[in-house]
Amino acid sequence: WRNPRCNGKLPPGSMGFPLVGETLQFFSPSTSSDVHPFVKDRMERYGPIFKTSLVGQPVIVSANSDLNHFVFLQEGQLFQSWYPDTFTEVLGRQNLSSLHDFMYKYLKNMVLSLFGPEGLKKMIPDVERMACQTLQRWSIQETVELKDATSSLIFDLTAKKLISCEPGNASQNLRDNFVAFIQGLISFPLNIPGTAYHKCLQGRKNTMKMLKKLLNERRAAIPGKNRVDFFDFVLEELDKEGTILTEAIALDLMFALLFASYETTSLALTMAVKFLSDHPSVLRKLREEHEAILGNRENTDSGLTWKEYKSMTYTFQFINETVRLANIAPLIFRKALRDIEVKGYTIPAGWAVMVIPPAVHLNPAKYQDPLTFNPSRWEQGEINGASKNFMAFGGGMRFCIGADFAKLQMAVFLHCLVTKYRWEPIKGGNTVRTPGLQFPDGFHIRLMEKTRME
């Protein structure tokens, strides 16, 4: 196991122990916001490309921006999206890569219509209304645990936009099952009642049942109305002759979309508020931008417009800096489809490739004082899309379809927050990380309405 077979030269690195490889070291938690010690130590020892073995799978780790970029660009040619088997098992019958294909082949109109500029434009009033109502609720509570509270908001927003499910009992029920699913996702796979894994599988089963019920209800409703959400597009596609999209695949896709948006955007928002709490000058500048938007309006109470949203220059810099430092997706997996020669090494066919975005985002050669939170560093740089040095939303063909949706939700939420409220942190706000996951330790704040004088 120490010297795996290879028709060329493997990168340096250790394959650890038989079977477990270096799995235990990989999962050791760290509270630093720097590159996780598992990766950092090995980068120092072996350089930015090294081999290891995790849960029985040989892996090439890439902390090199050229190789990361190459991996993203070669999607479907030399590499393919891949997730560990346990992940795919609980996430759905379909493997995630084929869901991607379905989404782009059969539901491309849905992707464009919901997440393209036209769809986003239409969303602003709903997002603003839901964010304002949520903040008002928070302000009458003694304290708010932000991760949980923003997760609930994001879930409601996504469910509203994707399946027109209004916040209320149905949405709460859906979310409870979804949360049971998420909580057991990274657990020992022992399927007996009482275990987190069992609850996870039950949670997924119940969520799928509820989604199916909602889809059936939609089917029974009067046909011919305008397409407004995900289910409308699915029904239209299902009725087309020769389609190979099935109801089961559509429900898996729906589930994957809820999953992809839920943890990510809520974590980004939690970290955003934490960064604002820690950096009063950034908060001041952000507030100025949003108060100027209100100041320039004829009627202060009219809702946010697309033009106003597009004018939030500093807010977009702030969001980019937040996702750079928060490293919400700390690793991205692919699998090599054949032997690949790159940078003087061979990546053997079948090996996993683990791209490490934090190694790029925290590289001092690319970002001055990389651990310092400084939104103004984006003044000069490209703020949209991905680059060799910015891959918070991935890159290449699989660039996040929800990136603009997430940014819109964040910007509108921040607009309501900084123009109407002030807050004080009560406790928590630190993050415990493994190379693949992060858990905020519970960030509690007290939210208060801001008077005009403030």
Residue from 61, 153, 208, 268 touching ligand HEM (CB under 6 A): that is 268
Calpha distance 200→204 (Å, rounded): 6
- Given 3-state DSSP classes, what are the helix, strand and coil percentages for the chain, each rounded to the nearest 5? 50, 15, 35
Q: Which part of the chain contacts ligand HEM (CB under 6 A), choosing from 200-208, 264-272, 343-351, 428-436?
A: 264-272
Contacts of 135 (CB under 8 A, 6+ apart): 416, 417, 420, 421, 447
Q: Which part of the chain contacts ligand HEM (CB under 6 A), choosing from 215-223, 295-303, 386-394, 429-437?
A: 386-394
Q: Does 393 bind ligand HEM (CB under 6 A)?
A: yes
* Max CA separation in the chain (angstroms): 71
Residue from 144, 174, 271, 329 touching ligand HEM (CB under 6 A): that is 329
Q: Does 250 bind ligand HEM (CB under 6 A)?
A: no
Q: Does 348 bind ligand HEM (CB under 6 A)?
A: no
Residue found by looking up tokens 């029920």 in the block: 173
Closest-by-Cβ residue to ligand HEM is 402
Q: Does 265 bind ligand HEM (CB under 6 A)?
A: yes
Calpha distance 394→414 (Å, rounded): 24
Neighbours of 19 (CB within 10 A): 10
One DSSP character per residue, 131-187 reads HHHHHHHHHTSS-EEHHHHHHHHHHHHHHHHHH---TTHHHHHHHHHHHHHHHTTTS
Q: Which of 185, 257, 193 is nearest to 437 (CA)?
A: 185
Indicate the residue among 162 and 445 with the shorter CB distance to ligand HEM.
Answer: 162
Indicate the residue among 81 and 152 with the shorter CB distance to ligand HEM.
Answer: 81
Contacts (CB under 6 A) with ligand HEM, residues 157-176: 158
Tokens of 453: 């004088």
Binding mask 405-424 for ligand HEM (x = CB under 6 A): xx------------------
Indicate the residue among 52 and 81 with the shorter CB distance to ligand HEM.
Answer: 81
Indicate the residue among 185 and 392 with the shorter CB distance to ligand HEM.
Answer: 392
Indicate the residue among 323 and 417 with the shorter CB distance to ligand HEM.
Answer: 323
160 neighbors 126 (Cβ within 8 angstroms) = yes
Q: Does 131 bind ligand HEM (CB under 6 A)?
A: no
DSSP at 396: G
Calpha distance 267→253 (Å, rounded): 22
Euclidean distance between the first and the last CA atom of the chain, given in angstroms as a whole number: 65
32 three-class SS: coil
Minimum Å gap between C-beta 99 and ligand HEM is 8
Q: Does 33 bind ligand HEM (CB under 6 A)?
A: no
- Dihedrals φ, ψ of 228, to 5°? -120, -25
Minimum Å gap between C-beta 11 and ligand HEM is 21
Calpha distance 101→427 (Å, rounded): 44
Q: Does 398 bind ligand HEM (CB under 6 A)?
A: yes
Q: Does 59 bind ligand HEM (CB under 6 A)?
A: no
Binding mask 83-122 for ligand HEM (x = CB under 6 A): -----------------x----------------------
Neighbours of 184 (CB within 10 A): 21
Q: Which part of the chain contacts ligand HEM (CB under 6 A), choosing from 204-212, 294-302, 306-314, 395-403?
A: 395-403
Contacts of 360 (CB under 8 A, 6+ apart): 63, 65, 68, 366, 388, 389, 390, 391
Indicate the residue among 201 and 260 with the shorter CB distance to ligand HEM.
Answer: 260
**Binding-residue total with ligand HEM (CB under 6 A):** 22
Calpha distance 237→378 (Å, rounded): 41
Residue ranges binding ligand HEM (CB under 6 A): 81, 100, 158, 257, 260-261, 264-265, 268, 323, 328-329, 332, 392-394, 398, 400-402, 405-406
